Amino acid sequence: MGQVRVKIDQTIIEKAFEAARSGAAGRDIYADTEQRSLTLVRRGSDVGWYVKTRDFTRRLGDVAKSYKSKDALPPRAAREAAARLLTELRTSPKEREETASTRVWTWADCVTARLLLLSGNRVVARRIKIPSAETLSDVRSAFGIDRKTGTFSAAKRPSLTVLQDIPLTALNAHVLGSAIRAINGVRPREKFLAYAKSMLTWAYSNSHESGFVVPAPWWPQIEPPQPSSEEISIMQANAEKLRSRKTGFRVQHVGDLLARHEDFCAGKVAEEKISPGIRWGIWWIALTANRRGSTTLLERTNVQQNDALGEDGWGTALWTEGQMKARKDFMLPVPPMGLHVINSSIADWQALINISHGFGHKTKWVFASTRREQRDGVGYDRPTDIAIHPSSLADHLRNMKGLKESAHPNILAGLPDFSLHTVRSAATHFLENYPGLSAAASSAFLGHAPPLDDKDPEARSRTTEKFYSVTQRMPLKTLAMKAWSEAVLDAYLKAGGVWPPRPYEVPIRKVYRTKRSGGS
C-alpha cells in the first residue's frame, strides 16, 4: 500500500493487524494527521509506532495485538509520547551534535515543552508545585491546543497560526502583539499574554535547552491591548451584573433554590431524570459554599463518616493540594445533613449503575458521573471512572431556567440573578453578620486560610491534632459550618422544602445510556 496520511484510530490499527496476520508482503505506513511526526508502520507481522522527521526516525513501541490489552499504546498516548520525544531529542546533546548546531525552539516546540513541564512537579520560588489539571487546561486553551490531539488547532486560535513555526529568536513584539490583538475577547487576550510571558521567560532562562538567546528580554514590557469601546461597554455591564449578584442573593434565596431544585428533580422522569451527582452536588454546594471544581473532586476515601475530634454525628471531608484552587490541603467539618447528602449521592449512583450497566461497577468519586466513559480520548484511551463535570452543575441551572432544549418554564423565576459561585458571596455576607462569629471563622470556612508554615514538620500531617485544630482551624470552621448549614436548612423549610430529601426510589429505569438534558 505504501504510505497514506490519515487520522490514526482503532479502525486503522485493526486494519494494520489484519494485514500483519495475513502475512502480506511489503509494508504499510500510516502517517497521522493529528501529530504529523507520528506514524504507524506495519512491516510483515510487526506493527509499531514511530516518530519520523527529516532528521531522525525513532521507534516508540509496539502496538499490542489486542487493543484492550494493558500493554496497548493507544493513539492519544502515542501522540503525547511523540510530542515528548520530539522535545527531548531536539534539545539533547546528542541531537545537537547530529545537527552540528544548537537547535532553536520554534514557538510550537516551546509550547510543547512548557506543557510537558506543567504536567509534572516543578519548583517555583524554591517550593515544589504539583501539576494542576485546571491550569493545564487553561494553558492549552490559551495557546489553542486541542485537548484531544495535543496539537495546535487553528480553529481555536486562528491568529496564533503565524507563531507556530517561528523560531523564538525571530519572535518580536510586533509579531506577538499582532497575534494578541486578533484574539477575540479581553480576558482571553490577557490570559494568553500572561501565559506567553511566563513561557518566554522560562525558555530564556533555560537557553541551553531552548537555544533562545537574545540581547535582552523584550516581552516583559508588552501590555494587553486597549479594549474597544464595545468591549468596555460589555465589561461595565458584566461588572454591574457581578455587583448585583453579590448584593442581591442571600441565604433565603439559597433555601428557595434548593426547594425549587428538589421539586424540579422530583418532576423529572425517564430520559429527563436528573443524575444523582448533579442532584446532590447542588445540595453540597448550597450547604458548604464549596466551589464547583472542588465539589466534583471530592473522593470517597477522603470522607470520614465519624469525626473523633469533632461534634457527635459530624464527619470530615478532605481535598488534597492538587484538587484545590489555593494548592493547599483543605478539610471541612461535615454536619449530619452533609453526610446525608454524601451518602445519598453514593447510594443513588450505585443503584442506578447496577441497573443501567450491571453489577460490579465502582467509582472513587462522591459525585460521580453516570457516564462510564469520558467523552474525550480515543477508543480505550478514555477514562471510565469520571466525576461529574463542573459545567454540568451550571448547566443544571440553565436547564431549570428553561434555557436548554426542554420546553418547561423558568423554574427559578423571581429569584435574583445568580450563579453557583454566588452562593459563596451569600455565605460570606451571612457569616460576616452572624452574631458572635469572628471574621477568621468565615475565612477558614470558605478556604481563605493563611499559608501553611513549611518549617513546621507537622504542618502537612493529616493524622495529628495539630493539622486538624491548628493548620486547618477546624473548630472555627465548625462554628461557621453550623451557622451557615442550619440557616440554609431553615430557609429551605420556609420555602416549602421537606427534610430529609429522599434518595431516588429503586428500581430506576434504564434511561442513562441515552443523552439526557440534565445529565453530566
Helix pair angle (133-142, 107-118), 10° resolution: 170
Backbone angles phi, psi at 5, to 5 degrees: -105, 115
Least confident piece of the model among 42-46, 60-64, 288-292 = 60-64
Answer with the residue of higher pLDDT: 200 or 370: 200
pLDDT at 517 over 50: no
Whether the per-residue pLDDT at 155 is higher than 50: the answer is: yes
Compute the average pLDDT of residues 407-433. Answer: 89
CA atoms within 13 A on the CB side of 428: 15
Give the pLDDT of residue 69.
40
Nearest to 226 by CA among 161, 192, 159, 180: 180
pLDDT, residue 214, reads 86
Instruction: Tell me the pLDDT band of 505, cut-offs 50, 70 and 90.
Output: low
Between 244 and 55, whose confidence is greater? 244
Of 92-96, 300-304, 464-468, minimum mean pLDDT range: 92-96
Residue type, 334: V
Mean pLDDT of 77-90: 76
Q: What is the pLDDT of residue 145?
A: 92
User: Is the distance from CB of 412 to CB of 400 less than 8 angstroms?
Assistant: yes
Mean pLDDT computed over 322-344: 85
Ranges 126-135, 162-171, 357-366: which has the least confidence: 126-135
Give the list of residues 6+ apart from residue 22 with CB closer than 8 angstroms, or none: none
pLDDT band for position 325 (cuts 50, 70, 90): low
- Amino acid at site 466: K
**How many angstroms separate the CA atoms of 515 and 520, rounded?**
9
What Å distances lie between residue 98 and 58, 283, 340, CA to CA?
A: 14, 61, 64
Q: Are 284 and 338 in contact (CB under 8 A)?
A: yes
Please say if the pLDDT value at position 451 is more than 60.
no
Q: How many residues does the chain have?
A: 520
- Would you state the pLDDT for residue 98? 41
Confidence at 412, pLDDT banded by 50, 70, 90: very high
List, as one string, the DSSP characters of 178-222.
HHHHTSSSHHHHHHHHHHHHHHHHHHHHTHHHH----SS--GGG-
The predicted pLDDT at position 56 comes to: 67
Return the sign of the alpha-carbon dihedral for residues 451, 457, 463, 465.
negative
DSSP string for residues in 45-78: TEEEEEEE-SS-EEEEEEPPSSTTSTT---HHHH
pLDDT at 101: 47
Helix axes 229-248, 422-432, angle to 10 degrees: 50
Question: In this structure, what C-alpha cell is assigned to residue 236?
Answer: 461595565
pLDDT of residue 88 exceeding 80 = no
Q: What is the pLDDT of residues 272-287, one digit of tens each?
A: 678 999 999 999 999 9
Confidence band (pLDDT; 50, 70, 90) for 376?
very low
pLDDT confidence band for 124 (50 / 70 / 90): confident
Q: How many CB atoms are located within 10 Å of the residue 355 CB?
A: 16
Residue 355, pLDDT above cutoff 70: yes
| H/E run at residue 38 | strand 38-43
Select from 165, 175, 219 the least CA-distant residue to 193: 219
Confidence of residue 61 (pLDDT cuts 50, 70, 90): low
Task: Report the pLDDT averaged over residues 364-386.
Answer: 64
Instruction: Indicate if the pLDDT at residue 117 is higher than 70.
Output: yes
Question: Is the entire prediction scored with pTM above 0.85?
Answer: no
Question: How confident is the model at residue 215, as a pLDDT?
Answer: 83
**Confidence grade of residue 67 (pLDDT, cut at 50, 70, 90):** very low
Instruction: Tell me: pLDDT of 430 over 90.
Output: yes
Could you tell me where the DSSP H helices lie in 357-473?
A: 390-400, 422-432, 439-445, 465
Closest CA to 74 of 57, 89, 60: 60
- Among 59-68, 295-304, 356-365, the range of highest mean pLDDT: 295-304
Residue 142 pLDDT greater than 90, yes or no: yes
CB 345, CB 276: distance < 8 Å: yes
- Chain segment 483-492, per-residue pLDDT in tens: 999 999 999 9
pLDDT digits (tens, 9 = 90+) for 204-252: 999 888 889 888 899 998 998 888 888 888 888 888 887 777 788 999 9
Mean residue pLDDT of the chain comes to 80
